[in-house]
């Protein structure tokens, strides 16, 4: 959304008000709005619950989202989904009003997005579809779970895998539906379709992890390396591996570049991938990408989020990583040659002290730059939960209206 690293956007956690994106930042949706695009979000927001943080105040014309970081979640502070919501028939915030939907959450989001895209098809649009799945709790329609019932192993992990894999297969089917409809509506050649994920696998990495080490929450490659597929018929060559080191922060300048949107003067850390997508022969200088797990404790919170050190500076030299095209530094004493050792099996820290020194120094400069931007650290938690309050208000009035399944 911001084109900068999470810490530089004020985001150091996924809860406790530390998930809020600094309202002073300009989002990619706002930039595209100014360039004449209609903008819509369908699914997960997770960048602040209060009104000033919500997508309708961050550049989105059409808002169709669940609350909190996952459907049904609630945490200390403002983050809390509508009471009684679930993966099936979730209660959704649609342009300021809660509505009751029908169907499995991913299907609901994609159907609504497609309905909106069809209505925008004669003008430029930006549709952002961040699905709740395959986030825990692991729930999927029966027909998808049954596909993996006898293939997922046993034990606590195995109990959840049929639903986890079923959720992913359901996403696959919905991605296929989006492409099918773009073709049917004659929009495919004029639409850039980008598919990516937000972190390493939360559950499936023990089954298959593309040869990487680590999963969700890990500072190793498997915690942050994710797919980035781009479909642009007639422009992006199908099946081509660009081979350049890229990150989510690149999506903002990429879309702005392609849309002809004005971003001069904005201090974006990302690079435009437009020439890479188009297959142009360009220079792609090496870069240093920074990672930190964040999630330190919060004072005044009961339970596991209130235990331990609450000072961000205590974590300056803990739980961080630096990535270049060739190297991954994990903490101060682990260095891996990702090109020749993508599984991170051989720590070559002692063999390359100059590389370690360079990456360590770069990381510390990053921390010094990001630390003043961690604007949510002292945010109070004794605040209302906006979606809960809205739910109570609507229930005291005319109630939560049923939302019809769009006809596609």
Claim to verify: residue 159 and residue 276 sit in the same structural domain: yes
* 182 shares a domain with 234: yes
CATH of the domain at 163: 3.40.720.10
pLDDT, residue 303, reads: 81
pLDDT given for residue 202 in this prediction: 87
323 plus 262 within the same structural domain? no
Residue 111, token pair as written in the block? 């159907």
d(CA 270, CA 266): 11
For residue 47, the enclosing domain spans 6-286+385-396
Whole-number pLDDT of residue 156: 66
Q: How many separate domains does the chain show?
A: 2
> CA-to-CA distance for 151 and 157, rounded, in angstroms?
12
- Residue 358's pLDDT is 98
Q: How far is CA 394 from the centre of its chain?
A: 30
**How much is the pLDDT for 154?**
62
The label of the residue with tokens 């008000």 reads: 17
Residues 249 and 355 in one domain: no
Q: What is the pLDDT of residue 207?
A: 84
174 and 39 within one domain: yes
**pLDDT tens for residues 19-63?**
999 999 999 999 999 999 999 999 999 999 999 999 999 999 999
The per-residue pLDDT for 71 is: 97
Q: Given this model, what pLDDT does residue 155 score?
A: 64
In this structure, are 68 and 168 located in the same domain? yes
Q: Give dist(CA 69, CA 135) in Å, integer.
A: 9
CA–CA distance, 213 with 253 (Å, rounded to integer): 30
Using CA atoms, how far apart are residues 393 and 167, in angstroms rounded to an integer? 33
Question: Does residue 379 form part of some domain?
Answer: no
CA distances from 3 to 6, 13, 140, 359 (A): 9, 18, 33, 22
- Distance of alpha carbon 86 from alpha carbon 68, whole angstroms: 13
325 and 276 share one domain:
no
Are residues 211 and 353 located together in one domain of the fold? Answer: no
Is there a domain that residue 350 lies in? Answer: yes
Cβ-based burial of 24 (10 A; exposed 0-12, middle 13-18, buried ≥19): exposed
Residues in the chain: 408
Residues 112 and 135 in one domain: yes
Q: Measure the CA–CA gap between 5 and 249, rounded to whole angstroms.
A: 7
Contact call for residues 81 and 66 (beta carbons, < 8 A): yes
**Quick one: how far is CA 230 from the chain centroid?**
16
Show the low-confidence residues of the chain (pLDDT under 50): none
Phi and psi at 268, nearest 5°, equal -85, 140
Summarize pLDDT for 127-160 with one digit per residue, the tens: 999 999 999 999 999 999 999 988 776 666 677 8
- What is the model's pLDDT at position 102? 98
Cβ(43)–Cβ(109) below 8 Å: yes
Beta strand 327-330 with 335-337 is: antiparallel
pTM recorded for the entire structure: 0.96
The CATH number of the domain holding residue 345 is: 3.30.1120
Task: Give me the pLDDT at residue 338, please.
Answer: 97
């Amino acid at each position: 959304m911001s084109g900068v690293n999470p810490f530089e956007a004020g985001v150091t956690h996924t809860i406790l008000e530390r998930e809020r994106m600094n309202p002073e930042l300009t989002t990619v949706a706002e930039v595209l709005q100014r360039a004449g695009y209609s903008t819509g979000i369908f699914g997960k927001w997770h960048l602040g619950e209060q009104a000033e943080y919500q997508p309708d105040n961050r550049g989105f014309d059409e808002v169709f989202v669940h609350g909190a970081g996952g459907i049904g979640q609630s945490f200390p502070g403002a983050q809390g989904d509508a009471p009684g919501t679930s993966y099936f028939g979730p209660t959704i915030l649609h342009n300021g009003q809660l509505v009751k939907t029908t169907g499995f959450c991913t299907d609901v989001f994609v159907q609504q997005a497609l309905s909106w895209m069809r209505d925008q098809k004669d003008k430029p649009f930006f549709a952002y579809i961040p699905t709740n799945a395959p986030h825990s709790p692991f729930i999927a329609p029966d027909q998808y779970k049954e596909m993996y019932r006898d293939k997922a192993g046993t034990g606590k992990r195995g109990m959840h895998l049929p639903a986890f894999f079923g959720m992913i297969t359901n996403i696959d089917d919905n991605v296929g539906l989006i492409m099918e409809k773009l073709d049917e509506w004659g929009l495919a050649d004029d639409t850039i379709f980008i598919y990516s994920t937000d972190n390493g696998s939360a559950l499936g990495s023990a089954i298959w992890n593309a040869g990487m080490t680590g999963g969700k929450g890990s500072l190793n490659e498997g915690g942050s390396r994710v797919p980035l597929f781009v479909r642009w018929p007639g422009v992006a060559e199908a099946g081509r591996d660009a081979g350049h080191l890229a990150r989510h922060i690149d999506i903002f300048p990429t879309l702005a570049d392609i849309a002809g949107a004005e971003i001069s003067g904005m201090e974006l850390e990302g690079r435009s991938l437009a020439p890479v997508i188009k297959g142009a022969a360009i220079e792609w200088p090496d870069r240093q990408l920074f990672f930190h797990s964040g999630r330190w404790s919060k004072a005044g919170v009961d339970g596991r989020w209130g235990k331990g050190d609450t000072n961000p500076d205590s974590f300056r030299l803990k739980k961080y990583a630096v990535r270049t095209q060739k190297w991954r530094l994990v903490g101060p004493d682990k260095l891996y040659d990702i090109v020749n050792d993508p599984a991170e099996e051989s720590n070559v820290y002692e063999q390359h002290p100059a590389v370690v020194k360079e990456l360590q120094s770069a990381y510390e400069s990053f921390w010094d730059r990001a630390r003043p931007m961690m604007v949510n650290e002292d945010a109070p938690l004794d605040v209302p939960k906006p979606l809960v309050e809205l739910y109570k208000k609507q229930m005291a009035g005319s109630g939560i209206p049923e939302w019809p399944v769009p006809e596609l």
